[in-house]
Structure 1
């Protein structure tokens, strides 16, 4: 009975760490920048700048 209880306690302790490790690839994903109409994204300044035509 002690071994079973110890195994369950270990599993419950390790579960959050394993779940966090599985989902930590969020920093590798990039979201596309969207600008308002009449502006364009400038990667040098990391902002939307007005387009002059």
Structure 2
């Protein structure tokens, strides 16, 4: 019985830690890549977004 109680207490202690391992709410927004930019835009690695392509 003592081992079972200890394992339950350990799993309840680690549950919040494992939930945060996913990266949080903003993790999906930072997974943009150059191939996902629409036509006429380019990927800017500094900001992590697609910006309008300038022609010179």
Q: TM-score, normalised by structure 2?
A: 0.38
Instruction: Give the structure with the higher percent helix.
Output: 1
Q: TM-score, normalised by structure 1?
A: 0.39
